[in-house]
Amino acid sequence: MSGSDTVGLKAYGAYVPRLRLSRKAIAEANAWFNPAIKGLAKGERAICNWDEDSLTMGVEAARDCLTPARLDEGAPAIRAVTFASTTLPFADRQNAGILATALNLGESVATMDFTASQRAGTSGLLNALQQEIGRNAEAGESLFVAADKRRTQASGPQELQFGDAAAAFTVGRGEVIADYLGGHQLSTDFIDHYRGGDSRYDYNWEERWIRDEGYFKIAPRAIAAALAETGLEAGAVDRFILPATIRGVPQKVAALAGIRADAVRDTLQAQLGEAGTAHPLVMLADSLQEARPGETILVVGWGQGCDVLLFRTTEALASLPPRQGVKGWLARRREETNYNRYLSFNDLLEQDRGIRAELDAPTALSALYRNRDMVLGFVGGKCRVCGTVQYPRTRACVNPNCGAFNSQDPHPFAEIPAKVQSWTADNLTYSPDPPAHFGMVVFDEGGRLMADMTDVSPGEVEVGMQVRMVFRRRAVDDKRGFIKYFWKATPDHTARDATGGAA
């Protein structure tokens, strides 16, 4: 395919939480019980803050993919949103719909969740690409997002191996950054692990069996079939992406498939960990961030079978607007050595949270629906008469020299730069990560909000500090199983340089 018939990836984005838990801290806390994990106590893994989950990470990856410049134009021409994860916050509420609302993509966008397998990310992306090939060439793109925040039991090897992250891509026709060459899927019920419907944790099988009977026998067959269908030689692959927590698996599978050893990509295990459903796509986003035009990339997704996708980068990759990408988010790190804090954030530790945490505040679902664009999409108002912007949107303009009624058009605030005008660190208000930071945030275009702050340490906040708004958990109604999302302020670490990394 060529020109307007070319189907592939048009942009990429990623997200990695700021917190990095030292594996040494995990091993020191648990080696008395399981000394074997000392062999894994190198590097660090990315962990979500208490107010992050797969959905909030997915929103951030999508924002990185679409970039603020495009989001500022209003609702981009996105016709479909697919969200892949095995750790969806809601089992029976469409998570992709919440993500689309947070991005202000409008009600006409088609939404779908992909789940139930570690290859849901690659299978979902394959599905999005195949749908693009099969449809008419009308305007519009689809947004594909994958994210995972997997819960593990304490003291097991997965606690050190896993990590939290997300990736996002737009799929479309025309000027793509990576041309989709083809792919192949094998579906086989090879059980390397599983999680029952009522279980909190995965049950994992023996590594040697997974390696020898799984990866080494199934993945090479899928790769060979994909190469045969696309007419490519194994030696033509420049970047080979296969996530695996078992040491040496990517290198051995590449050798069995005839792929050069120097094409095997770093799995990011030392800096990030294994991000489940999202990880092959996180590695793909990382590869695109440093790839040059004309490179062939082969991506393998694993889980009850095997997916293989083949891409070739184009000249358009060099002109893609800068974004954080995996490298930018990895550079935005804060070391976490307190293992107990990690346990608390992931509900692995039963704590006495005190009487201030006993507030029962059910969500008025009808009010949430009526104000969903303001609450989930962070949309305020702009007066048609005087141009004043404000949050929240009200019937009357807040400008005392105007006061016009019913004059406000919807005005998104999420991508508007802001600064801290005043702030407080409160040790009396209940917070899962005390002290609770909040303050008055003033937006560069006008408007202000008393906002919670997140991803900050005591002493880090100051008046005049540049912040950006992020989609996070506001609170969790444990009694009813409902998660309340809203927008918070965080230090703006997303300054970009000309190469697309963090400044």
Residue indicated by tokens 């991803």: 455
pLDDT (0 to 100) of residue 101: 97
For 91, how many CA atoms within 13 A lie in the half-sphere containing its CB? 3
Asked if 236 and 284 touch (Cβ cutoff 8 Å), the reply is no
When pLDDT is cut at 50, 70 and 90, the band that residue 496 belongs to is: very low
Distance CA 415, CA 494 (A): 12
pLDDT (tens digit per residue) in 160-183: 999 999 999 999 999 999 999 999
Q: Any alpha helices (H) in 231-338, and if so which ranges? A: 249-257, 279-290, 325-331
- CA quadruple 175, 181, 187, 192: dihedral, nearest 10: -80
**pTM of the shown model:** 0.96
CB 84, CB 115: distance < 8 Å? yes
Using the structure block, give the residue that is written with the tokens 């600064």. Answer: 419
Kindly report whether the peptide bond that precedes residue 435 is cis, defined as omega within 30 degrees of 0: yes
Could you read off the pLDDT of 24-34 as tens digits, one per residue?
999 999 999 99
Average pLDDT over every residue of 267-271: 97
pLDDT digits (tens, 9 = 90+) for 127-139: 999 999 887 666 6
Q: What residue spans of 258-376 are helical by DSSP H? A: 279-290, 325-331, 339-345, 365-370, 372-375
> Is residue 1's pLDDT more than 50?
no
Q: Which one, of 136, 71, 133, 137, lies nearest residue 100 by Cα?
A: 71
CATH 3.40.47.10 range(s) for the chain read 3-322+341-345
Q: Rounded to the nearest 5 degrees, what angle is found at the Cα of 32, between the Cα atoms of 31 and 34?
A: 55
Predicted confidence at residue 222, as pLDDT, reads 98
| Nearest-angstrom CA–CA distance, 437 and 60 | 21
pLDDT for the residue numbered 72: 61
Segment 454-476 mean pLDDT: 96
- Per-residue pLDDT at 353: 83
Q: Whole-number mean pLDDT of the chain?
A: 94
| Average pLDDT of the residues in 181-208 | 95
Give the fold, CATH level 3, of 360-378+413-491.
Answer: OB fold (Dihydrolipoamide Acetyltransferase, E2P) (2.40.50)
**Distance, CA of 359 to CA of 50 (rounded, Å):** 18
> Which tokens belong to 36?
């074997």
Longest CA pairwise span in the chain (Å)? 75
- Is pLDDT of 290 > 50? yes
What b/e sequence results for 406-426 when a residue is b if at least 16 CB atoms lie within 10 Å of its CB, and e otherwise? ebbeebbbbbbebbbeebebe
Cis peptide preceding 410, ω within 30 of 0: no
**Nearest Cα to 9, choosing from 143, 185, 124?**
143
pLDDT average, residue stretch 309-331: 97
pLDDT reading at 501 higher than 70 = no
How many other CB atoms are there within 10 angstroms of residue 282's CB atom? Answer: 33
| Three-state helix/strand/coil letters over 350-397 | CCCCCHHHCCCCCCCHHHHHHCHHHHCCCEEEEECCCCCEECCCCCEC
Q: Above 50 in pLDDT, residue 422?
A: yes
For the domain covering 3-322+341-345, report its CATH number: 3.40.47.10
Asked if 102 and 59 touch (Cβ cutoff 8 Å), the reply is yes
65 or 493: whose pLDDT is higher? 65
What 3-state class would DSSP assign to 51? Answer: coil
Assigned token pair, 213: 């009977």
Whole-angstrom distance, CA of residue 188 vs CA of residue 66: 35
> Residue 388 above 80 pLDDT?
yes
At 5 the pLDDT is: 80
**Distance, CA of 51 to CA of 104 (rounded, Å):** 21
DSSP 214: I
Please state, in angstroms and rounded to a whole number, the distance separating the CA atoms of residues 259 and 240.
8
Report the share of the chain in percent with pLDDT over 70.
95
At residue 73, the pLDDT reads: 60
The number of residues in the chain equals 503
Instruction: Give 211's contacts (C-beta < 8 A, 6+ positions apart).
Output: 246, 249
Q: What is the DSSP string of 73-140?
A: TSS-SEEEEEEE-SS-S-SSS-HHHHHHHHTT--TTSEEEEE-SSTTHHHHHHHHHHHHHHHS---S-
393 touches 408 (CB < 8 A): yes
Residue 3 has pLDDT above 60, yes or no: no
Note whether 99 and 277 are within 8 A (CB): no
Task: Please tell me the distance from the alpha carbon of residue 467 to that of residue 72, in angstroms, as a whole number.
Answer: 17
- Residue 200 confidence (pLDDT) above 80: yes
d(CA 465, CA 419): 5
In the chain, which residues fall in CATH 2.40.50?
Answer: 360-378+413-491
Residue 498 has a pLDDT of 33
pLDDT over 80 at 464, yes or no? yes
Give the tens place of pLDDT for each residue, 19-63.
Answer: 999 999 999 999 999 999 999 999 999 999 999 999 999 999 999
Q: What are 72-83's pLDDT values in tens digits? A: 665 458 999 999
Contact 454, 475 (CB under 8 A): no
Q: What mean pLDDT comes out for the span 119-125?
A: 98
CA–CA distance, 453 with 62 (Å, rounded to integer): 21
pLDDT at 495: 47
If one counts every other C-beta atom within 10 angstroms of the C-beta of residue 479, the result is 9
The pLDDT of 269-292, averaged and rounded, is 98
3-class DSSP assignment, residue 266? coil
